[in-house]
Structure formats: C-alpha cells, structure tokens
Amino acid sequence: METQDKQKKEEKSHSKKENKNLVKNLVSLSILLGGLFVGSLFVDVAQMFRSEGFSQKVLNGADVFTLDDKTWVAYDEPMINVEVLTDDSSESCDVSQAILALKTDLPTVAVNKIDINSEEGKMLAEKYEIKSVPFFVFSKEVEESVIFPQAQSVFKKKDDQYLLSSEAIGIASCKYIEAPQINEDDIKIGEQSDDKVTIIQYSDFQCPYCSKMHTTVIEPILKEYGDKVYFVYKQMPLSFHLQANSAALASECANEQGKFLDYANKLFSSQDDWGASKDTQIFKAYARQLGLNATQFNECLDSAKYQDKIDASVQAAQDFGISGTPAAFVGDEFVGGLTTYEDFKALIDEQLNK
C-alpha cells in the first residue's frame, strides 16, 4: 500500500512539473510571437511617424493609403526618370502645366527640372543637340510604360535615353538655344556683321499671314533700318498650299538674277491671282513684267533647279520644331506667327542695344 501510494505521489508530482514546463513554454512562445507582432507593428508605425515610408508588409497589403493628408497609390509600372530642360529666367518658359500633363499620362515619372543656362543644362544641350526648350529626356524605363507603344513615334532614342521635343507633343517652344544656320546659297539682303541685327525668316508665299507680315512688318523694317539689319529669307512652302512650292521655285530663279525682293513683292501683292492658277505660266509672266531674262528664268523654273535647296530649308525648319509660317528669328529671339511692326521693331532695338 505504501509503495503504491508513494508511486502515485511521484507520478502526480512529475505530471505537475510537465504541466508547468508546458505552460512556461507556451508563455514564452506567446511572448515571442507577440514580440514579433508588436515589433513589426512598431516598425510600421515608426516608419510612418518618421516619414520613412512603410514596411513591405504594409505595401503588399494596400493599393491605396493616406499619409500626411496625401493619398498614395500603388502602380504596376516602373519609376521613370525625366529631365525637363527649361529657362528659369523666362516667364514664358513655365513648365508646370507641361509637367502636370506629363504626370497625368505617366504617373510614375520622377521629374528633375534643369535650367538650360546652368552648366548641366549646357552640357545636355550639346550632348543631345537641343535647339529649343522645354525639352524632355526620359530614362529607358519609359519603354515599359503602358502608353509607350502608342507614343513611340514621338520619341527619339539616343543611347539609353528617349528624347522628346516640346513641339512633338504640341507645346510651343519658349526659347531657342540657337538660330538656324545661314547657308552660302540663302537669299540675303544686306551684309552680315557683328554690329547688325540678323533677321532670319521662314515664309510661304501663299500664306496670307506671310503676305501681311511682309507688307506691314518686313518691308517697313528694311526701309527704316537699312544697313542696321541683315535679312535672310528661308523657304517654307506648306504642303496644303498647292502653288506655294512653285512660287518658292520662281522666287529662287528671280534671286538668281538679283531680283528677289521685287519678285517677292509681286508674289505677295498678287497672291489671290497666282494662288488660283493651275500651272507656272503666271510666274513666267511676272518675270517678264519685272524685266528678268525670260529664257534663263523659264529654264530655271521648268527644271525645278532649286528644289533640293527648298526641301533642305523645310527640313531645317522642321528640325527646329517650326511647323507654321511666318516664323522669324530676330537675333536670339524667336517670333512665331504674325506680329506687329511695333513689337518687331522693339525686338530689333533691344538687340541693337545689347
């Protein structure tokens, strides 16, 4: 009896010890798991309050969350870096609306705005042959964006970057970095020198705005300023003006005989007449009226002698993002579209006083 009682007591004591150990182990496990949970929660909360972001656990579980009165949205697309070159010194070069539009189409872009007058801006202008601002340089991740397949045609790839001029997306240039090159065979009035203001104009003889620009601005400017300006005329016949290219060819043939300005005056003043014609006979008639050598003029016009020159002029204009006429460079200032004599004169005076 005593032996059995003793055995029962020992078994009971051993069972209590096991239960104690089990409880102890469960408590330890609970503390450990609780610590991990609280620790994870603490990390999330600490990151949130220190504005250091969220843990991956939180991000994986939320597509939208709010912090500091801002709503953050998760996207599947990669982050795309874009450098926006502009001119901080010019009010007309405010790119805030352009950046807003850009972020609407590409919400994962990270924008770095660069002043074209800074050393970094000048380096990028040279590297990417930038002629005007604003100008956009995208990282290669733009290839992975949803809109890239549809928008690919407006991008120009260089190395691992994608370039986008403002004109390609319908934003007018606010400043040109350089003026078009003056070629030896360009039509020129006056002599080039450092003390003169160079005026380079792209024009279309069949464009009514070009006609008004010539009559009310260019002619009076040439008369008033005389040897203070150096005028360069560049051809830009627009494709939807059916006789514009023939008129450009005719003016080049007249220039060959030293009669460009007289012939240009005739074309602009008779725009409605020759614009309604179907062939080049009327252009030959104008040449005879102005006393040009008819045989030389007719051969020049019939052979389209200066077509390559005109095509190159149009291409150069397009390279500068110029899509309409009239368009003029007055020194380092660009004038797009029809302007007034007073505004044009003010630009020249400003350039002369520099």
Whether residue 339 sits in one domain with residue 211:
yes
Gap between the Cα atoms of 154 and 315, Å rounded:
17
Whether residue 298 sits in one domain with residue 215:
yes
State the virtual CA torsion across 3, 9, 14, 20 in degrees, nearest 10: 180
In a domain, 110, yes or no: yes
At 307, which amino acid appears?
A: Q
Gap between the Cα atoms of 181 and 120, Å rounded:
24
Phi, psi of 337 (to 5 degrees): 90, 180
In a domain, 7, yes or no: no
In a domain, 1, yes or no: no
* Structure confidence by residue, pLDDT tens digits, 337-349: 999 999 999 999 9
- Per DSSP, the three-state class of 202 is strand
Whether residue 197 sits in one domain with residue 142:
no
User: What's the pTM?
Assistant: 0.71
Q: Counting beta carbons within 10 angstroms of the beta carbon of residue 344, is it exposed (0 to 12), middle (13 to 18) or buried (19 or more)?
A: buried
Whether residue 339 sits in one domain with residue 192:
yes
In a domain, 296, yes or no: yes
Whether residue 310 sits in one domain with residue 229:
yes
Low pLDDT (below 50) residues in the chain = 1-4, 6-8, 23, 27, 29, 31-43, 45-46, 48-51
In sign, the C-alpha dihedral spanning 191, 194, 199, 200 is: positive
Task: Quote the domain boundaries for residue 216.
Answer: 187-352
Whether residue 257 sits in one domain with residue 154:
no
* Structure confidence by residue, pLDDT tens digits, 135-171: 999 999 999 999 999 999 989 999 999 999 887 777 7
Whether residue 235 sits in one domain with residue 166:
no
